[in-house]
Amino acid sequence: MRNVILDCDPGHDDAISIIIGASKRSELNILGITTVAGNVEVDKNTRNALQVCEMLNLDVPVVEGAVRPLVRESEVAPEIHGDTGLDGPVLSPPEKKKSPGHAVDFIIGEVRKSDEKVTLVPTGPLTNIALALIKDPSIKDNIDEIVLMGGGTFGNWTPAAEFNIYVDAEAAKVVYESGVPVTMFGLDVTHQVIADEAVISRVAEIDNDIAGFVKELLIFFAETYKNHFGFPGGPIHDACTTMYLLDPEMFTFEDVNVTIETKGEATYGMTVVDLLKTTGKAENVKFATGVDEETFWKIFLDVLASYGEA
Ligand code: BDR
Ligand code: CA
């Protein structure tokens, strides 16, 4: 079983990513869930993570992290995820409590004490991961891969920048330049997995509580993506990370150099992806270029159905 830490800002697609990652099929050993300021304020993201754990009966620590990015002020995305960060499903306040301590120390502690290398799975801004790497660079030796959702060759928060990278580009720069292998699911691939009405109706046919919860998440997410971007549904961006951990074969990749832009006025937060190797810079990222959509949705639906099995 692979040891993972899910670092997130749930967030509809973060919640779905946790649901995939926590399934028996994924065979992941989730050491904990850490939260970061992103889609909404960090305390709301923490509450949402606790709610998702409760839905799943997932008994892992949930540890709150950075309240704001390294350098800039926070930006949030209620127009995509609603004021709670997880609008749509009706959820009662969680009974599960967050664990004491800070996400950065939790990440450092878990990575240091793990016998096997740990995979970090960030699906929000990279603030916690950057701070952990800065506070204790020795953890790099015991991280096998950072599997993240962020960036792409185009943007969704600005024309150049994707939300997670834009919110804390200085943190992204630390992570991308850390020397730890980065596997990157950017918008190029996440926009290939849009949960449109056809997907939602297949989810609705699955008769268990978790699938019902996912259906509610997808309905809300589809609505905001229709209103905001004119898309036929919501791309379940973050779920690409745990789907990859479950079955890497469905994705295609290019090894490339990616530079994080932190200075440009119009391009702040851009992930400059050197697909044609024009810079001669060393490759630092396994960049997801495509996905076998049929396989993706088949496995996705199978995983949701598996929650109804004894
Ligand atoms: C990313 O931004 C957030 O709104 C989503 O949860 C995802 O992590 C997509 O740009
Ligand atoms: Ca997210």
Q: Could you tell me the pTM of the whole model?
A: 0.98
Residues of the chain with pLDDT under 50: none
Residue written as token pair 């159905």: 305
Specify the residue with its C-alpha closest to ligand 1, atom 4. 39
**Complex prediction ipTM:** 0.99
In this prediction, residue 245 carries a pLDDT of 98
Mutate which of 9, 129, 220 for ligand 1 pocket (most atoms within 8 A of beta carbon): 9
The pLDDT value recorded for residue 101 is 98
Active site residue 237: yes
| Ligand 2 is an ion; residues with CB less than 5 A from it | 9, 11, 14, 123-124, 238
How far apart (Å, rounded) are the C-alpha atoms in residues 116 and 15? Answer: 26
The first and second tokens of residue 137, run together, are: 């660079």
CATH code of the domain containing 204? 3.90.245.10
Taking the C-alpha atoms of residue 243 and residue 140, their distance in angstroms, rounded to an integer, is: 24
pLDDT reported for residue 156: 98
Helices and strands per DSSP (H, E), number in the chain: 12, 12
CA 157 to ligand 1: nearest atom: 10
Q: Could you tell me if 119 and 245 are in contact, meaning their C-beta atoms sit under 8 angstroms apart?
A: yes
Q: Tell me the torsion sign for CA atoms 161, 162, 168, 173.
A: negative
What angle, 0 to 180 degrees and rounded to 10, lies between the N-to-C axes of helices 12-21 and 209-229?
150
- pLDDT, position 309: 85
What per-residue confidence (pLDDT) applies to 132? Answer: 98
pLDDT value for 92: 87
**Ligand 1 touching residue 23 (CB < 6 A):** no
Atom of ligand 1 nearest to the CA of 39: 4
Structure tokens at 228: 């905001």
Ligand 1 neighbourhood includes 7 CB (under 6 angstroms): no
Structural domains counted in the chain = 1
Which residues span the domain enclosing 289? 2-307
